Amino acid sequence: MPTIKVKSSLLASFEVNYNIATPTNASAKSIDNSLPTILFLHPVYISSPVFHNQLNDPILRKFNCVTVDSRGHGGTNAKISKNYGPAQAAEDAVKFMDALKIPSAHVFGISMGSITAMHMAMSFPDRCLSVYMLSPLSIQEPEDVFAGRQEIAECWGEGAHQDAVYGAAQLAFSNDVEGLANALVQNALPGLLQRYTAKNQNEYRIATVDFFQADREMYSKSGFSRVKCPVKLMFCSEDVAYTLEQATDLLELMQDAGVEASLEQVPTCHFGNVKRPAEVNRSFERFLREVDPSTAGLLVPVEAISPFEVALKAVGYVDGDYSD
């Protein structure tokens, strides 16, 4: 995957790993300026390949589909400072859009990516055409969920990597690590082992634990009042960490702040786009048509090949095996 230099207010410029998929090219050099753009923001632990089943679906590939690895994940090479959180991640995403000359985008975020997406919509409202939050985080991080994240980090720091992976898989996939889920874990693990050694456990904790409590004062009526675009919350009903009640509370807070927000459900795990791609993709595409009816007229490509297919097959993935 290519990289591009991005400037930051916290640090000097750094290299960001990304991919642009257009209707005709799985790894294009630039977006098609005649088409709307979707910016995909991944969850914790697993980077952009988590969107494999979105980028191989023609119904979404009629758009420019742009994926980007956040700090501490995938191929992005950037120092993680003690102040790193959703606000900085949102700025990074917008600076990345600047570098690629993307004026605005529909933003699809999963879990950690969803809170980054909302910070984009709050701090840079003119850059977001819509926000789709798959497995949205609660208004405040629940104590038991935060404790679980801490336990995973402690296992990793102690060298009990398999225990850490087990805990992360339980959160992400309700411990159903088969098919694509297994390939995503196997693809991500070597990079995590190389990046997060005993010498930089502090960065691991900031990226995978502290991030989830940072900047939460913005998750408020005042913060959400800055949002100008429609927002869709998609709750995954088999989520082991977050509840429908928490998603509903978030929805109501957004609506009280004047956000055009709505809530749907899909029967699957926290990283629901991996296990239930058809339902999630069609929900997302339907939402985009509601936001911008003109997208219904975009030409759907005959086929769509994921830019992550080769890497995932290299670790044993058989295309189409969702194991749900």
Residue 321 belongs to a domain: no
Look at residue 241 and tell me whether its pLDDT is greater than 70.
yes
Structurally, how many domains does the chain consist of? 1
In a domain, 89, yes or no: yes
Question: Is residue 132 included in any domain, yes or no?
Answer: yes
Backbone angles phi, psi at 10, to 5 degrees: -85, -40
* Position 324 pLDDT exceeds 50: no
Alpha carbon separation from 37 to 4, 32, 97, 104 (Å, rounded): 18, 9, 10, 7
- pLDDT score for 319: 78
The confidence score (pLDDT) of residue 199 equals 87
* Residue 28 within any structural domain of the chain: yes
Name which of 111, 92, 57 is nearest 322 in CA terms: 57
Among residues 95, 85, 84, the alpha carbon closest in space to that of 6 is found at: 95
Residue 93 lies in a domain: yes
Res 323: pLDDT: 46
Q: What is the mean pLDDT of residues 230-252?
A: 98
56 vs 307: CA distance, rounded Å: 8
State the CATH number of the domain containing residue 234.
3.40.50.1820
Residue 284 lies in a domain: yes
Task: Tell me whether residue 213 is in a domain.
Answer: yes
Q: Give the burial string for 139-160 (b: 16+ CB within 10 Å, else e).
A: bebbeebbebbeebbbbbeeee
Radius of gyration of the chain (CA): 18
Domain range for residue 242? 3-314
235: pLDDT confidence band, cut at 50, 70 and 90? very high
**Average pLDDT over every residue of 296-308:** 97
pLDDT over 90 (residue 9): no
Average pLDDT, the chain: 96
Work out the average pLDDT over 311-324: 78
pTM exceeds 0.95, yes or no: yes
Q: Is the pLDDT of residue 321 over 60?
A: no
Residue 162: phi and psi, rounded to 5, are: -65, -35
Residue 322 domain flag:
no
Q: Distance (Å, rounded) from C-alpha 157 to C-alpha 206?
A: 13
Residues 6+ apart with CB under 8 A from 267: 236, 237, 238, 276
pLDDT at 11 over 90: no
Q: Rounded to whole angstroms, how far apart are CA atoms 293 and 287?
A: 10
pLDDT in tens, 87-135: 999 999 999 999 999 999 999 999 999 999 999 999 999 999 999 999 9
Identify the pLDDT of residue 175.
85
